Chains A and B, each alone.
Chain A
Amino acid sequence: MDNREHYLKAFLIAGLVMGGLSGIPGLNLGNCCCLWQILGGAMAGWILCRSAGNPVRAGEGALVGLFSGLIGAMIFSVMTALSYLWNPDDLNFSMEQVLQGQDLQIPPEAQAVLDQAMSIITHPALALGVLLFFSLIIFAILAMIGALVSVGIFEPRFALTRLKRVREVSYKPMENVKMPEIKPGSTDLYFPRKEKEGE
């Protein structure tokens, strides 16, 4: 946990980007096959590796990916809820389409119970609650994988940059160090103190 101060920046930026891209209609086609979740997690890992002052561990990548996934899922759920409020028929339509596609043989006496169950399950509040719950899980898992892959790829590269930065600071060549000008008698640090002390 050496890079604790960089976690917040990494997972906030990545979570916002991930949630925004997955929630915007049109762009949310990238949700198919988990593109935005994995890319968002990878972005979190990249930001962490880039800004960290110490070597980044795999666990740190997992942590950043987890939180970016959770934030992304919340933003995504809010945006999905807004889009369903804008167009409420969208959800019902997709559910009916899906169930008709199954081509099930339902006995007529069970149809009333089924209709009641369907009216509950297609209730927007319940549907969005279920969606939020599973989005949290799926986003978190996929973003963690993205962040872990990203840390594995970028950490060796940024380790070199970090090392160069450390070496520049700690092993500064002598010719580049500007020495202060000291005139005799101007400071106590001047070597021949004997004259001043009168010895």
Chain B
Amino acid sequence: MRRGNLILLLLRILLGSLVLLILMPVISARLGMPVLAGLSYLVFTPFCHQLPDRSFHLLGVPLAVCARCTGIYLGIFIGAFSFRIGAKAPRTFVATSFFADRMSAPEVADAPKPLWRRREATADRKVARANRKVILFLILIMALDGMLNALGIITTPIWLRFLFGLGFGIAGGWLLGMGVEDLMKMTQVPRVRGMCAPLVATSFFADRLCGQEEATKDRKVARTGQRFALNFKSQISDLRINKNSLRSLRLGGEKWSREFEE
């Protein structure tokens, strides 16, 4: 499993356990272990008012947080869980395009492009802006509802609070999944990938495997290949090496060896 996927899985497990902790009073009431319920209420005491009349009751027991917070935590879990399930899932696209609008910055927009590419870029930008509005709407509507309720101007029913929190949570969960994935990409150690990896490995071991008499030239190529590959190693971390670049790498190695001989 790749490191990014593993971290994403750990994040999902963590968020899932938070949701489980919210449901803990109900479970503990079922099991007859009120200590667990106490622990659950204690954990969320600083983050929620926990008023019973604003919380959901399951089996007659109030949950550890209010309806809005239940929606937020559940939404974050759902958002992070559904992110990246299916390669071209629309939610992934929505989260990605939330950050894609910066591609419309003038340095990109001013660059000379063919007309079809410009049209495509404009369409992408429109989609990105629409998605941005969707996410901002989900966030703002929850904030507005919370503020108006706190000021006592309106009193929203409990299910609507839950829905507002859920919307915010799902949007936040998508963004969280995307942010964590990008963070893993940023922090990964540069390494050789694709077809270049066997070449580097071979050139490392070829030096030892070759005999004294035969293939002296090959050994030299292998050594220069090592040097060449190590120089390249830091630059090719995020690229997929295709056949052409592999060929150029070989040619570069041979050229270096010729220069070395001269």
Q: Are B42 and A121 in contact (CB under 8 A)?
A: yes
Measured between beta carbons, the chain A residues less than 8 angstroms from B175 are 58, 145, 148-149, 152
Measured between beta carbons, the chain A residues less than 8 angstroms from B42 are 95, 98, 121, 127, 130-131
Measured between beta carbons, the chain B residues less than 8 angstroms from A6 are none
A-B contact pairs, 21 of them (CB 8 A): A31-B46, A32-B48, A57-B186, A58-B175, A59-B183, A59-B186, A59-B187, A60-B186, A62-B182, A80-B46, A98-B37, A99-B41, A104-B32, A106-B32, A134-B43, A141-B14, A141-B76, A148-B179, A152-B99, A153-B132, A153-B136
The docked-state distance in angstroms from the alpha carbon of A110 to that of B60 is: 22
Q: Are B172 and A145 in contact (CB under 8 A)?
A: yes
A positions within 8 Å CB-CB of B: 1, 22, 28, 31-35, 55, 57-63, 65, 76, 80, 94-95, 98-99, 101-104, 106, 110, 114, 117-118, 121-122, 127, 130-131, 134-135, 137-138, 141, 144-145, 147-149, 151-153, 155-156, 159-160, 163
Closest partner residue, chain A, to B47 (CB atom): A31
For residue B147, give the distance in angstroms from its CB to the closest CB of chain A.
9
Measured between beta carbons, the chain B residues less than 8 angstroms from A131 are 42-43, 46
List CB contacts (< 8 Å) of B12-50 with chain A.
14-15, 18, 25, 29, 32, 34-35, 37-39, 41-43, 45-50
For residue A128, give the distance in angstroms from its CB to the closest CB of chain B.
10
Measured between beta carbons, the chain B residues less than 8 angstroms from A122 are 38
For residue A43, give the distance in angstroms from its CB to the closest CB of chain B.
15
Measured between beta carbons, the chain A residues less than 8 angstroms from B132 are 152-153
For residue A176, give the distance in angstroms from its CB to the closest CB of chain B.
21
A-B contact count (CB 8 A): 150
List CB contacts (< 8 Å) of B54-84 with chain A.
60-62, 66, 68-69, 72, 76
Measured between beta carbons, the chain A residues less than 8 angstroms from B136 are 153
For residue A108, give the distance in angstroms from its CB to the closest CB of chain B.
13
Contact pick for A22, options B46, B49, B68, B98, CB 8 Å: B46
The yes or no answer to B211 lying at the interface (CB within 8 A) is no
Measured between beta carbons, the chain A residues less than 8 angstroms from B18 are 137-138
Q: Are A62 and B101 in contact (CB under 8 A)?
A: no
Contact pick for A62, options B45, B98, B102, B179, CB 8 Å: B179
List CB contacts (< 8 Å) of B135-174 with chain A.
135-136, 139, 142, 146, 165, 172
Closest partner residue, chain A, to B48 (CB atom): A32
Measured between beta carbons, the chain B residues less than 8 angstroms from A22 are 46
The yes or no answer to B104 lying at the interface (CB within 8 A) is yes
The docked-state distance in angstroms from the alpha carbon of A179 to that of B68 is: 65
Closest partner residue, chain A, to B11 (CB atom): A141
For residue B94, give the distance in angstroms from its CB to the closest CB of chain A.
11
Closest partner residue, chain A, to B184 (CB atom): A59
Measured between beta carbons, the chain B residues less than 8 angstroms from A155 are 99, 102
The docked-state distance in angstroms from the alpha carbon of A151 to that of B99 is: 8
Q: Are A101 and B52 in contact (CB under 8 A)?
A: yes
The yes or no answer to B115 lying at the interface (CB within 8 A) is no
Q: Are B34 and A104 in contact (CB under 8 A)?
A: yes
Contact pick for A33, options B68, B106, B139, B178, CB 8 Å: B68
The docked-state distance in angstroms from the alpha carbon of A31 to that of B50 is: 12
Q: Are A117 and B47 in contact (CB under 8 A)?
A: no
The docked-state distance in angstroms from the alpha carbon of A103 to that of B42 is: 17
The yes or no answer to B199 lying at the interface (CB within 8 A) is no
The yes or no answer to B107 lying at the interface (CB within 8 A) is yes
